[in-house]
């Protein structure tokens, strides 16, 4: 059974990244799961068609007398039938990120790369200056870059000018579970770039956080820790899938406007009037 068999997501409402259409709007990370079997079941339960993979869990060369490092993990991902989005997790310099991306393209056979250039250790905030520079180099070399960035509008403009066709602003620091720290900034980003695929990446802890991102009009959500570190990762993966679907349905349905005053839901015209 591949990842599409158990999906609850959006086959009739696909999202497109660099010309590739996918049905699920949930992108799932593959780190920190209790076991490979639970990882596989969580991916199936989520319906995710794209998973992120760190190059640091793979190796192209085996030691004498030992199996290829990461080979069983890579086989598991292949058996699930999902698309791989390699990432440059942990890279702190442009050179390191570019080199890691080049190695990932050779190993995984894809031009896709989730580009991370980390600038601060405590928050894992992106180094946006290095990010733009690395994005320009990789785009020029034929990569299709998914940049992990902030919600800053100027940085977004520079990333698009550097060749990116997708933006992935953080919701909150990686692994924090805080949700959407700056709703105003995220809404502004969506409003300024209505035709650019936008993915909220990092910091989500609850399905309600993912639903809120989708209700803002975001195209997808990428998460890892909230599922991997849950008491029941498979159930949590399913919960996120349903929340994302609900948020997407809500924004398509054209929600009512927020009001300052009450508005009666029951008409008052024609109501019986009783004398005293």
Residue whose token pair is 């992120």: 52
Round to whole Å and give the CA distance between 189 and 117: 20
Candidates 182, 166, 167, 173; CA nearest to 202 is 173
Say which CATH architecture domain 24-58+70-253 belongs to.
Alpha-Beta Barrel (3.20)
Q: How far apart are CA 160 and CA 132, in angstroms?
A: 9
Cα separation, 222 vs 232, whole angstroms: 19
pLDDT in tens, 213-250: 999 999 999 999 999 999 999 999 999 999 999 999 99
pLDDT at 32: 92
pLDDT at 66: 43
Q: Would you tell me how many other CB atoms lie within 10 Å of the CB of residue 208? A: 15
Collect the ranges in the chain with pLDDT lower than 70.
1-12, 56-71, 268-276
Q: Can you say which residues are annotated as belonging to the binding site for 1-deoxy-D-xylulose 5-phosphate?
A: 175, 202-203, 224-225
Q: What is the DSSP letter of 118?
A: B
Residues designated catalytic: 114
φ/ψ of 113, rounded to 5, equals -150, 130
pLDDT at 12: 61
Domain boundaries, the chain: 24-58+70-253
CA distance linking residue 8 with residue 30, whole number of Å: 20
Instruction: List the binding residues.
Output: 175, 202-203, 224-225
């Amino acid at each position: 059974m591949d990842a599409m068999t158990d999906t609850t997501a959006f086959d009739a409402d696909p999202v497109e990244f660099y010309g590739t259409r996918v049905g699920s709007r949930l992108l799932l990370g593959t780190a920190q799961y209790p076991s490979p079997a639970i990882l596989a079941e969580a991916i199936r339960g989520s319906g995710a068609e794209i998973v992120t993979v760190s190059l640091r869990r793979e190796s192209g060369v085996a030691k004498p007398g030992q199996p290829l490092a990461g080979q069983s993990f890579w086989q598991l991902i292949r058996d699930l039938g999902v698309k791989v989005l390699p990432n440059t997790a942990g890279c702190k310099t442009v050179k390191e990120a570019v080199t890691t991306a080049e190695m990932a393209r050779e190993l995984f056979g894809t031009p896709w790369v989730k580009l991370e250039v980390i600038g601060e250790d405590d928050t894992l905030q992106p180094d946006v200056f290095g990010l733009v520079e690395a994005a320009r180099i990789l785009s020029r070399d034929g990569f299709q870059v998914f940049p992990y960035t902030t919600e800053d509008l100027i940085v977004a403009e520079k990333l698009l000018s550097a060749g990116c066709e997708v933006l992935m602003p953080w919701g909150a620091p990686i692994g924090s579970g805080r949700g959407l720290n700056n709703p105003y900034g995220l809404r502004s980003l969506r409003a300024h770039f209505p035709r650019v695929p936008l993915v909220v990446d990092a910091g989500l802890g609850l399905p309600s956080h993912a639903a809120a991102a989708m209700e803002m009009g975001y195209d997808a959500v990428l998460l890892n820790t909230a599922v991997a570190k849950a008491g029941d990762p498979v159930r949590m993966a399913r919960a996120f899938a349903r929340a994302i679907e609900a948020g997407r349905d809500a924004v398509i349905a054209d929600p009512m406007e927020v009001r300052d005053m009450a508005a009666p839901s029951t008409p008052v015209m024609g109501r019986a009037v009783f004398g005293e």
